[in-house]
Structure 1
Amino acid sequence: MDRKTCQAEPGSAIARDYSHGYLCMVYRVPRGWAVMFIRIISGKYGGRKIDAPDNGRTHPMGERVRNAMFNSIADEIVGARVLDAFAGTGSIGLEALSRGAKACTFVERDKIAQKVLAKNVVSLGADEQSQIIRSSVNAWIETTKPDYYDIIFADPPYHDLQLSTVSKLFAILKPNGLMVLSHTGRGEVPNLSELGIVVVDNRSYGNAHLTSFRRVG
């Protein structure tokens, strides 16, 4: 595959996109948006930084919460097939790959976030283990036949938990698989015990809450 040199204008960033036949794509960060950096905490990419536009349209999980979440599932992450739903710029899925996950599917509908996500994946060298779905989570589930996953991370917008969509994710969770839902704690979480989905853990970190579900059997 040919490689081309990209020259970005001021206010632009560079990412690589295989769909264009070469490893290069330029996109412009809209005027007035700041770009912040998120640190990968541990694993093979530990200490590396990835981009996240500070535009209010995505809410990257805080480092303390992300670290606590991954430490709590350390025994399950190695070799797992992972889904990062509502991926934003990919901090959760990339942390999973850094800590030994086999592969990660990222689902994100925001176009700017998609481009930053693509840049982050390639900048870490994680492209061979990553699949980016440019779609809403609901549309992806409704219109395709997704794979099954060992671990699903669901980090929907805090102002819209999308519980009906989140509930559909359980259908693609492997037996004994784990799903971690990030939420504010102000709303009800799905109760799917009749489907063999049970809550196995609840943790709170200030305004951030993590509820873990497991598919039994």
Structure 2
Amino acid sequence: MAKRRPVKKKPARGAATQPPSVDAPMRIIGGRLKNKKIEYSGDTRTRPMKERVREAVFNLIGPSIKGKIAIDLFAGTGALGLEAISRGAIQAHLIERHVPTSKLIRNNAEALEITDLITIYAHNSFMWVKKELGKVARTPWVVFICPPYDFFVSRWEEMEKQMVTLLEAAPPESILIVEFDDQFDGAQLPDAENWDVRVYSPAHVGIYRLPSDEEAS
């Protein structure tokens, strides 16, 4: 990988200073399932990406989500994977180790009538990457890496290894999205200079786009 350099963090336009309450009603923001509700238990072990951040992320990805396979490694409510399907992803793998929460994702997928497009794993995401990633089709991926913020400190070695594995394994034209906060320095991301990092306080979102075969040659 290329030598790491400091990441320039770009402030997000119109980012609110205070995030909305996590127990606010959740919904799909865009695509064919727009405004459909997402059930959320309010469990403190789940940290859903704020709606304004989720909207910003999908606006940045734009229509390139269409035709890709979504992988959400710390799925929580499943909102990112469900949103990806709504916006044109052809399949989604959602990994959530907390069994009751993984069942909630199943309920949401059933309510949205998209269970045929969703595979849910009640599994540790680090082990899933080691054992299951190689089974995912070689269609370009969009990978969401949004763990508890503390993982970037308390489990950084595992996080780094996971991201390096994904960058090396992902098909051309794949996209990786990572979410962290101020306790982590984005300059530590693997191949750091190639991440587009935006700030939606308290969240920092990094987007990495793998080149096509033609661009890489």
For the residues of structure 2 that align with 1:166 and 1:141, how far apart are their CA atoms? 10
Q: Is the 8 A contact 1:36 1:51 kept in 2?
A: no
Corresponding residue for residue 181 of structure 1 = 178
For the residues of structure 2 that align with 1:204 and 1:75, how far apart are their CA atoms? 22
For the residues of structure 1 that align with 2:61 and 2:209, how far apart are their CA atoms? 12
Q: Is the 8 A contact 2:197 2:207 kept in 1?
A: yes
Q: Which has the higher strand share?
A: 1
Mapping of residues 50-199 of structure 1, within 5 Å: 50-144=38-132, 145-147=134-136, 148=138, 149-161=140-152, 162=155, 163-164=159-160, 165-189=162-186, 190-193=188-191, 199=194
Deviation for aligned residue 1:150: 2.0
* TM-score when normalising by structure 1: 0.76
Q: Structure 2 stretches of 5 or more lacking a match?
A: 1-21
* TM-score when normalising by structure 2: 0.76
What CA deviation, in whole Å up to 9, does each residue of 1:189-211 have, x standing for no partner?
Answer: 45433xxx862411101101101
What CA deviation, in whole Å up to 9, does each residue of 1:151-192 have, x standing for no partner?
Answer: 111111112134233333323321231101011132134543
The one-letter amino acid paired with 1:179 is L
The one-letter amino acid paired with 1:151 is V
For the residues of structure 1 that align with 2:190 and 2:180, how far apart are their CA atoms? 17
Mapping of residues 36-55 of structure 1, within 5 Å: 37-55=25-43
What CA deviation, in whole Å up to 9, does each residue of 1:41-70 have, x standing for no partner?
Answer: 111111111111212101001110000110
The one-letter amino acid paired with 1:210 is V
Percent identical pairs in the alignment equals 29
Deviation for aligned residue 1:36: 5.8
Q: Is the 8 A contact 2:71 2:93 kept in 1?
A: yes
Q: Structure 1 stretches of 5 or more lacking a match?
A: 1-33
Q: Is the 8 A contact 1:151 1:173 kept in 2?
A: no
Deviation for aligned residue 1:79: 1.3
Q: Which has the higher helix share?
A: 2
Shift in alpha-carbon separation, 1:36–1:51, aligned structure 2, 3 A: farther
Q: Is the 8 A contact 1:38 1:49 kept in 2?
A: yes
Superposition RMSD on alpha carbons, in Å? 2.1
User: Taking CA–CA contacts closer than 8 Å with sequence separation of 6 or more, which of the two structures ends up with the larger relative contact order?
Assistant: 2
Deviation for aligned residue 1:132: 0.9
Q: Is the 8 A contact 1:36 1:54 kept in 2?
A: no
Corresponding residue for residue 19 of structure 1 = none
Corresponding residue for residue 8 of structure 1 = none
For the residues of structure 2 that align with 1:150 and 1:198, how far apart are their CA atoms? 21
Q: Is the 8 A contact 1:198 1:214 kept in 2?
A: no
Q: Is the 8 A contact 1:146 1:172 kept in 2?
A: no
The one-letter amino acid paired with 2:182 is G
Deviation for aligned residue 1:35: 7.2
